[in-house]
Structure 1
Amino acid sequence: MKITYASLFLAAALPAFAQKAGDTMPPDALGKLEWVQGTAPTAWEPGKVYVLECWATWCGPCIAAIPHVDELYDKYQEKGLRVIGVNVWEDGKDKVEAFVKNKGEGMSYPVAYTGKGGVFETEWLKPADVRGIPHAFIVKDGKVLLTTHPMQLTEPVIEGLLAGGDAEAKVLEEIKEAQRKREEVGKANQAFRQASMKKDTAAMDAAFSDLKKLDPANTMLPALEIDLLVAKADWAGAEAALAKLDGNPMAAMTVTSVAQAISKTPDVPESFKKSVISSFATLVEKTGHAMQYQMLAKLQWSLGEKDAAKTSAAKAVEWTKSEKGVKAGIPSAPFEKFAEALDKDELPSDEQMTTWLRESLPKQAKPAAKITPKEG
């Protein structure tokens, strides 16, 4: 979706309101919702494919998926696609109405508001064990065909579902297999992370091998490989893997992660540190952020490159005073103190920097005393 880029959940059967594929679900709950635009279906139209797309205004991935869902609706509504946006886990119909109005033709399908703890949550979300959004229920002829992330609903998928028969069966099987694979990838990734926390390189190696077999095109593999090589203290291998990152969409995150790791790892060879710092410096010059400049300064200082560190610290201060920094609300004071310490030939600890950052935050007003009304 905790908001994360959209977790995928398979439906689970429960008494009264089962949601697994093949279970029959009446549209009754939809008639009990408040409709922001459009109206509730009184019955499922035979042969039509219904996408009940669960979302909220606070959910970034939900908002990112809306244009895709709307494009599908515009293209296939005359061929039998029905889309209903169901606002869930949110209180405040006014802000939902304002959001939908602002989207205009970019959210042209019917939209319903349910509120926290509403009937849709009781009869659909909880029985299906939905724990993250965006999340789409796909219904046809009164039966739940599947549940999935709305971005998985590609044009070929919609066309297969609308066609029915063998085409529908093929699409459902492909989605089921994709979901199974994602679950296996998720388990392998979790196994790698747990092994990494325990510094169990053998378990990390096994989990990494599983991930490569399951999803050889996974963009996270280069980052995990470097984590593994660093854990093994295979510095030559890690340096070679780092050099191959150019053009990888996860390069920025990987380099940042490695830079953070070596800043806390003793006995890192100077040659590897230099490679990481060089890559990180190139990244920081492109992306530029006070925290990145400050981290770069620490790494440069650890190599004895004190003049370069002082320059990076000064750039951190400059960034906080730039338009971007002011807009982001990043305070200058902590970074000014950091730069001043370097000028005195002192490197502040992470704890000191954290204290300065905390002290620079605006003081929150104490909440008013709660008054409990008396009975009678």
Structure 2
Amino acid sequence: MKTTYASLFLAASLPALAQKAGDQVTPEALGKLEWVQGTAPTAWEPGKVYVLECWATWCGPCIAAIPHVDELYDKYQEKGLRVIGVNVWEDGKDKVADFVKTKGDGMSYPVAYTGKGGVFETEWLKPAGVRGIPHAFVVKDGKVLLTTHPMQLSEAVIEALLAGGDAETKALDGIKEAQRKQEESGKATQAFRQAAAKKDVPAMEAAFADLKKLDPESRSLPLLELDLLIGKGEWTAAESALAKLSDNPMAGMAVTTTAQKLKQLPDAPESFRKAVTTSLAKQLEKGGHAVQFQTLAKLQWELGDKDAAKASAKRAVEWTKSPQGSKTGIPTAPFEKFSEALEKGEMPSDEEMNGWLREAMPNARPAAKVVPKEG
């Protein structure tokens, strides 16, 4: 192990179940965990910065953050950074141990396993109101400095926290302000979505304006603008907004969602429907999900391009048989029936497709409502 922990015993009177910014904490709960790699600190070392990074093997964003966390540890552990990976919200120590072993030097900091409902969950996560991971607690001299997403812990932030004093205060204030804006942006986005569900265009416009003011660089703005323009029936502008999404990392989901909405947009002109179909086809050149290929096939069929629709339906079948598709558990049979119907010159209804899907996978959501996640 890279880290050797010195001893500094804190007063027994410190609160055990208060883990929010500004609270005094002890490392007592860490000593009750099962350690996959490294050992628990018996006390916080003076002046050292502890990052307790909560993660799980099933959490994609957690796994994506591990290289960043490990780089910080490798660069700053000799200068006083202590990183502890705390596996939470999953059962199976062996699975976690195998994951850590596979990561090797890419996850070189100490790692603890707690299990569902474990002591770390009851004494840290629940008191702090943590509802999602990855999530990092940052502790220094027995006090929680902040809680944040680990990706917000840049090298500049770590250096400032290690330096202490004004640099630490400035870094903390910066993160708190970023978190405040993020929270307000989240509220504005939620307000927009609620207004969109009610088709309340004035409320959509107000929420969009709020978000644009709070975070002009938000990647969600182009997506919400498209929804707003559709809601207002400004189809030419909506086509332009759709075209601008090509470089947005969230474009795939946005285009798929828009394509699935077209059935509820009887006023949308053919030019807009063609633009959506073209955009979806372009997105799927890089690969996609069976449901996306099926959605494209339906749009192409409705526009009269039946050969392209048949080809897209076959790609949906191929996807279910691919290694990626096999891992998802999405059955092949419903998409084969869909493809066979198109070959016969028939377009199955959503009810028929949903029925086939239920037969093959009883717990599946209706195919017409499935929107695959990005990545």
Residues 16 and 26 in structure 2, CA contact (< 8 A), matched pair in contact too? no
Match for 1:256: what amino acid?
T
Q: Distance in 2 between matches of 1:360 and 1:115?
A: 33
* Deviates further, 316-325 or 283-292: 316-325
Residues 15 and 25 in structure 2, CA contact (< 8 A), matched pair in contact too? no
Query: Against the structure 1 CA distance between its residues 173 and 243, is the aligned structure 2 distance closer, same or farther, given a 3 Å change threshold?
Result: same
In structure 2, the residue matched to 1:62 is 62
In structure 1, the residue matched to 2:50 is 50
Match for 2:84: what amino acid?
I
In structure 2, the residue matched to 1:199 is 199
Q: Distance in 1 between matches of 2:36 and 2:315?
A: 49
Q: How far is 1:51 from its partner?
A: 0.8
In structure 2, the residue matched to 1:142 is 142
In structure 2, the residue matched to 1:183 is 183
Query: Against the structure 1 CA distance between its residues 164 and 92, is the aligned structure 2 distance closer, same or farther, given a 3 Å change threshold?
Result: same
* Deviates further, 65-74 or 167-176: 65-74
Residues 19 and 124 in structure 2, CA contact (< 8 A), matched pair in contact too? yes
In structure 2, the residue matched to 1:171 is 171
Q: Deviations over 1:84-121 (max 9, x none)?
A: 11122222222222222222211111112222222222
* Percent of aligned pairs sharing the same letter: 76
Q: How far is 1:337 from its partner?
A: 2.2
Q: Distance in 2 between matches of 1:112 and 1:325?
A: 33
TM-score (norm 1): 0.86
In structure 1, the residue matched to 2:122 is 122
In structure 2, the residue matched to 1:334 is 334
* Deviates further, 182-191 or 124-133: 124-133
Matched position secondary structure for 1:46: coil
Residues 16 and 25 in structure 2, CA contact (< 8 A), matched pair in contact too? no
Residues 15 and 24 in structure 2, CA contact (< 8 A), matched pair in contact too? no
Q: State how 1:87-106 maps to structure 2 within 5 Å.
A: 87-106=87-106
Q: Distance in 2 between matches of 1:91 and 1:330?
A: 25
Match for 2:28: what amino acid?
D
Q: Distance in 1 between matches of 2:58 and 2:133?
A: 10
* Deviates further, 102-111 or 143-152: 102-111
Q: How far is 1:16 from its partner?
A: 5.2
Query: Against the structure 1 CA distance between its residues 33 and 248, is the aligned structure 2 distance closer, same or farther, given a 3 Å change threshold?
Result: closer
Query: Against the structure 1 CA distance between its residues 197 and 41, is the aligned structure 2 distance closer, same or farther, given a 3 Å change threshold?
Result: same
Matched position secondary structure for 2:128: coil
Q: Deviations over 1:234-289 (max 9, x none)?
A: 11110121122232222222222211111332232111111111222222233244
Match for 1:237: what amino acid?
A
Q: How far is 1:221 from its partner?
A: 1.1
Matched position secondary structure for 1:131: coil
The CA RMSD over aligned residues, in Å, is 2.2
Q: Distance in 1 between matches of 2:171 and 2:204?
A: 35
Q: Distance in 2 between matches of 1:322 and 1:27?
A: 47
Matched position secondary structure for 2:245: coil
Q: Distance in 2 between matches of 1:231 and 1:191?
A: 15
Q: Distance in 1 between matches of 2:63 and 2:274?
A: 41
Q: Distance in 2 between matches of 1:184 and 1:322?
A: 41
Q: State how 1:203-218 maps to structure 2 within 5 Å.
A: 203-218=203-218
Matched position secondary structure for 2:264: coil
Query: Against the structure 1 CA distance between its residues 146 and 318, is the aligned structure 2 distance closer, same or farther, given a 3 Å change threshold?
Result: closer
Q: How far is 1:133 from its partner?
A: 1.4
Q: Distance in 2 between matches of 1:265 and 1:341?
A: 25
In structure 2, the residue matched to 1:298 is 298
Q: How far is 1:321 from its partner?
A: 4.9
Residues 263 and 299 in structure 1, CA contact (< 8 A), matched pair in contact too? no
* Deviates further, 137-146 or 309-318: 309-318
Matched position secondary structure for 1:268: coil
In structure 2, the residue matched to 1:268 is 268
Q: Deviations over 1:156-189 (max 9, x none)?
A: 0000000000000000000110010000000000
Q: How far is 1:15 from its partner?
A: 7.1
Q: How far is 1:328 from its partner?
A: 5.5
Q: Distance in 2 between matches of 1:323 and 1:100?
A: 24
Q: Deviations over 1:215-244 (max 9, x none)?
A: 111111111111111111111110121122
For structure 2, the 5+ residue unaligned runs are: 1-13, 364-375
Q: Distance in 1 between matches of 2:33 and 2:313?
A: 55
In structure 1, the residue matched to 2:350 is 350
Query: Against the structure 1 CA distance between its residues 201 and 283, is the aligned structure 2 distance closer, same or farther, given a 3 Å change threshold?
Result: same
Matched position secondary structure for 2:42: coil
Match for 1:207: what amino acid?
A
In structure 1, the residue matched to 2:224 is 224
In structure 2, the residue matched to 1:242 is 242
* Deviates further, 74-83 or 317-326: 317-326
Q: Deviations over 1:140-170 (max 9, x none)?
A: 1111111111111110000000000000000
Q: Distance in 2 between matches of 1:328 and 1:17?
A: 39
* Deviates further, 277-286 or 315-324: 315-324
* Deviates further, 192-201 or 277-286: 277-286
